[in-house]
Protein backbone atom coordinates (compact mmCIF):
# COMPACT_ATOMS: atom_id res chain seq x y z
CA UNK A 1 0.00 0.00 0.00
CA UNK A 2 1.11 3.53 -0.72
CA UNK A 3 -0.28 6.53 1.13
CA UNK A 4 0.32 10.15 0.26
CA UNK A 5 -1.11 12.93 2.39
CA UNK A 6 -2.79 15.77 0.53
CA UNK A 7 0.37 17.87 0.79
CA UNK A 8 2.35 15.06 -0.86
CA UNK A 9 0.65 15.33 -4.25
CA UNK A 10 2.91 17.23 -6.64
CA UNK A 11 0.80 19.66 -8.69
CA UNK A 12 2.45 20.65 -11.97
CA UNK A 13 1.35 23.13 -14.65
CA UNK A 14 -0.39 21.41 -17.55
CA UNK A 15 1.27 23.71 -20.07
CA UNK A 16 -0.16 25.68 -22.96
CA UNK A 17 0.20 23.10 -25.72
CA UNK A 18 -3.24 21.51 -25.12
CA UNK A 19 -4.90 23.99 -22.76
CA UNK A 20 -6.23 27.55 -22.72
CA UNK A 21 -5.70 29.32 -19.40
CA UNK A 22 -3.95 27.99 -16.31
CA UNK A 23 -4.43 24.31 -15.48
CA UNK A 24 -2.58 22.04 -13.01
CA UNK A 25 -2.22 18.25 -12.87
CA UNK A 26 -1.90 16.25 -9.65
CA UNK A 27 -1.08 12.58 -10.40
CA UNK A 28 -3.06 10.35 -8.03
CA UNK A 29 -1.71 6.90 -8.88
CA UNK A 30 1.44 5.43 -10.43
CA UNK A 31 1.11 4.46 -14.07
CA UNK A 32 3.36 1.40 -14.48
CA UNK A 33 2.27 0.70 -18.08
CA UNK A 34 1.13 3.13 -20.78
CA UNK A 35 -2.30 1.42 -21.00
CA UNK A 36 -2.94 1.21 -17.22
CA UNK A 37 -5.22 3.47 -15.19
CA UNK A 38 -4.31 7.15 -15.46
CA UNK A 39 -5.81 8.91 -12.42
CA UNK A 40 -5.29 12.67 -12.23
CA UNK A 41 -6.58 15.54 -10.21
CA UNK A 42 -7.01 18.47 -12.59
CA UNK A 43 -7.49 22.06 -11.40
CA UNK A 44 -8.72 24.73 -13.84
CA UNK A 45 -8.56 28.45 -13.11
CA UNK A 46 -11.70 30.40 -14.11
CA UNK A 47 -12.05 30.33 -17.91
CA UNK A 48 -9.44 27.60 -18.41
CA UNK A 49 -10.18 24.62 -20.66
CA UNK A 50 -8.72 21.73 -22.59
CA UNK A 51 -8.34 21.62 -26.36
CA UNK A 52 -10.55 19.24 -28.35
CA UNK A 53 -9.49 15.66 -27.64
CA UNK A 54 -10.59 12.03 -27.27
CA UNK A 55 -9.55 8.98 -25.24
CA UNK A 56 -8.92 5.46 -26.63
CA UNK A 57 -11.03 3.78 -23.89
CA UNK A 58 -13.15 6.78 -22.91
CA UNK A 59 -12.90 8.96 -19.82
CA UNK A 60 -14.67 9.37 -16.49
CA UNK A 61 -14.64 12.80 -14.85
CA UNK A 62 -15.75 13.34 -11.25
CA UNK A 63 -16.17 17.02 -10.33
CA UNK A 64 -14.72 17.60 -6.86
CA UNK A 65 -15.34 21.34 -6.56
CA UNK A 66 -16.32 24.43 -8.47
CA UNK A 67 -18.27 24.81 -11.70
CA UNK A 68 -17.45 23.85 -15.25
CA UNK A 69 -18.71 22.55 -18.54
CA UNK A 70 -18.07 19.82 -21.05
CA UNK A 71 -18.98 19.88 -24.74
CA UNK A 72 -18.95 17.22 -27.44
CA UNK A 73 -18.03 17.75 -31.06
CA UNK A 74 -21.72 17.70 -32.05
CA UNK A 75 -22.39 20.72 -29.78
CA UNK A 76 -23.98 18.99 -26.76
CA UNK A 77 -22.95 21.07 -23.73
CA UNK A 78 -23.42 20.18 -20.07
CA UNK A 79 -22.90 22.52 -17.09
CA UNK A 80 -21.01 20.82 -14.25
CA UNK A 81 -20.94 21.25 -10.47
CA UNK A 82 -19.42 19.42 -7.52
CA UNK A 83 -20.49 15.78 -7.35
CA UNK A 84 -21.31 15.47 -11.07
CA UNK A 85 -19.92 12.54 -13.07
CA UNK A 86 -19.31 12.60 -16.82
CA UNK A 87 -18.48 9.58 -18.97
CA UNK A 88 -17.25 10.18 -22.50
CA UNK A 89 -17.12 6.93 -24.48
CA UNK A 90 -14.09 5.77 -26.45
CA UNK A 91 -13.37 8.05 -29.39
CA UNK A 92 -15.89 10.78 -28.49
CA UNK A 93 -14.29 14.16 -29.27
CA UNK A 94 -14.88 16.67 -26.47
CA UNK A 95 -13.40 19.39 -24.28
CA UNK A 96 -13.93 20.39 -20.65
CA UNK A 97 -13.00 23.22 -18.33
CA UNK A 98 -14.15 25.69 -15.71
CA UNK A 99 -16.69 28.45 -16.12
CA UNK A 100 -15.61 32.10 -16.37
CA UNK A 101 -16.66 32.72 -12.76
CA UNK A 102 -15.30 29.64 -10.98
CA UNK A 103 -12.35 27.37 -10.47
CA UNK A 104 -13.09 23.70 -11.10
CA UNK A 105 -11.30 20.61 -9.88
CA UNK A 106 -12.12 17.19 -11.27
CA UNK A 107 -10.70 13.71 -11.11
CA UNK A 108 -9.89 12.28 -14.55
CA UNK A 109 -9.83 8.50 -14.96
CA UNK A 110 -8.67 6.97 -18.25
CA UNK A 111 -7.18 3.74 -19.56
CA UNK A 112 -6.04 2.61 -22.98
CA UNK A 113 -3.14 4.94 -23.57
CA UNK A 114 -2.53 8.64 -23.98
CA UNK A 115 -5.07 11.32 -24.80
CA UNK A 116 -5.47 11.92 -28.53
CA UNK A 117 -5.31 15.69 -28.97
CA UNK A 118 -6.86 17.50 -31.93
CA UNK A 119 -4.85 20.27 -33.53
CA UNK A 120 -7.41 22.92 -32.60
CA UNK A 121 -8.14 25.10 -29.62
CA UNK A 122 -11.70 25.50 -28.35
CA UNK A 123 -13.01 28.72 -29.86
CA UNK A 124 -14.50 31.41 -27.64
CA UNK A 125 -17.85 30.80 -29.40
CA UNK A 126 -17.78 27.08 -28.47
CA UNK A 127 -16.66 27.90 -24.93
CA UNK A 128 -19.44 30.46 -24.46
CA UNK A 129 -22.16 28.20 -25.94
pLDDT confidence of residue 64: 98
Identify whether 77 is part of a domain. yes
Q: What is the pLDDT of residue 36?
A: 86
Structural domain of 82: 18-114
For the domain that residue 35 is a member of, what is the CATH number? Answer: 2.60.120.10
In a domain, 9, yes or no: no
At residue 106, the pLDDT reads 98
Give average pLDDT by consecutive 10-residue segment, the chain, 129 residues.
87 95 93 83 98 97 98 96 98 98 97 93 92
In 3D, which of 74, 85, 54 has the Cα closest to residue 129?
Answer: 74
pLDDT of residue 30: 82
Give the chain's domain count.
Answer: 1
6 falls within a domain: no
* 2 falls within a domain: no
Amino acid sequence: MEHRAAGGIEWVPAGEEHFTGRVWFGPLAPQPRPDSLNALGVLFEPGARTDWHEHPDGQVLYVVSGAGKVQTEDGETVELSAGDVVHTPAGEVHWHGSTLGSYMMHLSLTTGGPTQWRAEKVSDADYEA
